[in-house]
Structure 1
């Protein structure tokens, strides 16, 4: 088994991990995309996404209180469905969506960094910088828990302060106006369906709370502190998102927010901070994305190691020395690098949102059907989370089918491959083959 250090993560460290993952992807990579779907009301979509996430988090808090573990969601699924295809496939969906999130954040790092040099966001340097950041995250992650939690906690605090300063400066210039961003003839009016679809992306910006559940066995007093850390990280992130979205909405017309969707914060900073706008915003973006990558890699490598220990996923050493968790760390980084090179920001985000919502619904159904009495969960809250996820997922897939059908096809193929692959692997394992050697 892997050597997880009990009590090596404090409550503050756990909150730092959660906000570290959330705030990096959410506000920098997704704000412009949310605006493109929701129109001038895009700041409100972050509130709706926070509410939906709050319902979702209930299942995870209840499960974490009962079963704190380094496998987090993998362990929760095993308790609900047993160690079979559904558990293995849903856990892999979670792992893949987290790796997709890492490639999203890494490309965001590249996109914002190039703004300093007035270079196009389509430059080949974006994936180059993304790969460099992922390599740095790997080096940090092999340095141990105490350094990771100290680094992510300090950096999370710095970026939150920076974003609040950015938002307050932008709102001050705009006279603290609550007038939503104005559209123009070139922007399409948002529909109810597209606004619900926008919520899918805002949910993706909150999904970092699951990072905390994946470090459950390492958190001090986990039965009490996992739930506290999840609630605190979602609340902090929602406050920052709303403040920043309001500032962007007050300073840029909607068509400019959408046009600069990959670096909209840098554009929105110009009225408040003048020539220093880009440098200031890019500085925060770099801090945010670096901490987000490190925290996410930390969590997903542990979950994959736990799934390997449970013999739910195939594993091969490829001649690498050391513990399984170090091997899964390498797999995580390599896959994130490949995705960061192949896909652009909006497509990465879309696939990640679809896979995450499918996995989330499987978790809620498992809690409702098999564990609600065991973990003392309110069935009405759990089913509300399940239904809300379903509505958001359906709206998001419908909008993507109309605008970029390939993303829906790729996502469905991903899901089918994972389920079939896990079924075949587990069938062979159960026929007497040793799962660890494959």
Structure 2
């Protein structure tokens, strides 16, 4: 297939979109949870989490190449199970609100770091105002130009990766722990940690890999999708694994585990500050701002296109489907408004956990859909079955963790699912009535 000059996004931009969606606020928050559970075994859990993400990506790539539909997750399910109106609607509602929740989290992470060195660091209202403002900025950029968004995403993603890598290498070189001691600490933690604990952490880290799906939402604006979809997704996951492992090892080399657990997302900034002074702290803040910014941009770009497709099919209000010059401007605005409402309402930790469970569940459903039509997608029966097994296990591990550690939060998530399910059911009935009247 020859390249279409009217399509704006090449391989570099697509990798940037995927990495932008993945390397957001997640890596700054999973370190504290992981180290508190398994200590120096954190890099191993991160690698396993990346392998689980790769299993999920296998079905996304195969379905993406077969259907080539920017509706991605929703469209794949709808086309594989064409008679399931309610289930198609539910998938659409869950995946979009999962994206809205992560968008709100990324914006909140951005604002927390943006004001961290000012007198307003503890002012929650200033934090919320800055978060809403940054969502507005990237919504306008996405409305302005696909090509402009792609180039800005390139700059932000590759700059943040460079900054985070430099910081991590400096921490490893100047930390109080050498490589031999680190290996010894890993051996000690291996004796006190069970495989079960490692797998729980690996499942939790799946949160930090969500975002690779956003590449498929750009299928109508990319060059050579047959080659670039698999290249972009697998390259982005590989790069994400590498950067996460380097960051985690750098933190464990230089920062006492009790400080990582205590400071959580600020642990990297605190550790760099102790070694490099204010320069180290500002570098980490810059990396965090770029990480959350690119995650906001990539999520707005991909999820708005999926929302527009779902609305066009009648499962969301019709005005969200309206486009100008093929840009889903109303969906972009709708996502910005709803994520801003979430920010104003608070409870972002609850929303994050909802998004995490939702994306893992939806990835499992995609693997099951791919298994059903594996002959059409030319998929390996073994790899597809392995994907189902891996994602099912990951889901059970994270549910076990939630129920044993935050059962009240899990109950609230279940209530959210019920509310969204009711909304999905109402719109699915509207679609059924419309089809009967045709």
When the two structures are superposed, what TM-score results if normalisation uses the length of structure 1? 0.89
2:419 match: 417
Q: If each structure's helix is expressed as a fraction of its own residues, which one has the higher value?
A: 2
SS in 1 for 2:134: helix
Matched, 1:93 2:82: no
Pairs within 5 Å for 1:103-142? 103-117=104-118, 123-142=124-143
**1:324 to 1:430, Cα distance in 2 relative to 1, 3 A:** farther
Q: Report the secondary structure of 2:264's partner residue.
A: coil
User: What is the distance in 2 between the residues matched to 1:345 and 1:160?
Assistant: 26
Is 1:209 aligned to 2:218, yes or no? no
Structure 2 counterpart of 1:402? 404
1:186 alignment counterpart: none
1:319/1:244 CA distance change after superposition, 3 Å: closer
Q: For the residues of structure 1 that align with 2:119 and 2:178, how far apart are their CA atoms?
A: 29
Q: Alpha carbons of 1:114 and 1:35: their partners in 2 closer, same or farther (altered >3 Å)?
A: farther
Residues 173, 271 of structure 1: 8 Å contact kept: no
Matched, 1:350 2:348: no
Q: Specify whether residues 21 and 5 from structure 1 end up closer, same or farther in structure 2 by C-alpha distance, changes over 3 A only.
A: farther
Out of 307, 321, 332, which is 1:329 matched to? Answer: 332
Residue pair 1:180, 1:249 contacting (<8 A) in 2 also: no
Corresponding residue number in structure 1 for 2:14: 14
Q: Secondary structure at the match of 1:115?
A: coil
Check the 8 A contact 2:120/2:126 in 1, yes or no.
Answer: no
> Contact 1:301 / 1:328 at 8 angstroms: preserved in 2?
yes
Root-mean-square deviation (CA), in Å?
A: 2.8
Q: CA–CA distance in 1 between the matches of 2:291 and 2:212? A: 16
Q: Does 1:372 align with 2:374?
A: yes
Name the count of aligned residue pairs.
Answer: 426
Assess if the C-alpha contact under 8 Å between 2:18 and 2:211 holds in 1: yes
* 8 Å CA contact 2:342, 2:348 repeated in 1: no
Render the CA deviation track for 1:386-425: whole Å, top value 9, x for unaligned: 2222222222122222222122122222323333332332
The aligned residue for residue 30 of structure 2 is 30
Q: Is the 8 A contact 2:143 2:327 kept in 1?
A: no
Q: Distance in 1 between matches of 2:64 and 2:324?
A: 32
Instruction: After TM superposition, give the deviation of residue 300 of structure 1 in Å.
Output: 0.5
Alignment match of 1:228 (pick from 228, 231, 237): 231
Equivalent positions of 1:19-418 (< 5 A) are 19-82=19-82, 84-117=85-118, 123-174=124-175, 177=179, 179=182, 192-316=195-319, 325-343=328-346, 346-369=349-372, 371-418=373-420
CA–CA separation in structure 2 for the residues paired with 1:376 and 1:433: 33
1:205 Cα shift? Answer: 0.9
Deviation at 1:49, TM superposition (A): 0.6
Unaligned runs of 5+ in 1: 184-188
Which segment is superposed worse, 305-314 or 117-126? 117-126
Deviation at 1:354, TM superposition (A): 0.8
Query: What secondary structure sits across from 1:27 in the alignment?
Result: helix
Cα deviation per residue 1:244-295 (whole Å; 9 max; x = unaligned)? 1110111112221111113222112123312222111101111221121011
Measure the CA separation in 1 of the matches of 2:331 and 2:184.
Answer: 44
Query: TM-score scaled to structure 2, two decimals?
Result: 0.89
Deviates more, 1:8-17 or 1:26-35: 26-35
**Contact 1:91–1:359 (CA<8 Å) still a contact in 2?**
no
Alignment-derived partner of residue 189 in structure 2 = none
Contact residue 19 and residue 212 of structure 2 kept, 8 A: yes
CA contact (8 A) 1:29 1:108 kept: no
Output the CA distance in 2 between the equivalents of 1:314 and 1:366: 27
> Residues 12, 363 of structure 1: CA spacing in aligned structure 2 closer, same or farther, 3 A cutoff?
same
Change (3 A) 1:322 1:153: closer
Specify whether residues 403 and 5 from structure 1 end up closer, same or farther in structure 2 by C-alpha distance, changes over 3 A only: farther
C-alpha distance in 2, partners of 1:272/1:193? 35
| Cα displacement string for residues 153-186 of structure 1 (whole angstroms, at most 9, x for unaligned residues) | 1111111111111011101102653617979xxx
Residues 308 and 320 of structure 2 are in contact (CA less than 8 Å); yes or no, is this contact kept in structure 1?
no
Structure 2 alignment gaps of length 5 or more: 187-191
Alignment partners' CA distance in 2, 1:259 and 1:434: 58
Aligned equivalents of 1:434, 1:106: Cα separation in 2 = 43
Q: Is the 8 A contact 1:43 1:249 kept in 2?
A: no
Distance 1:396 1:357 in 2: 9
Alpha carbons of 1:261 and 1:190: their partners in 2 closer, same or farther (altered >3 Å)? farther
- Tell me the distance in 2 between the aligned counterparts of 1:323 and 1:58: 28
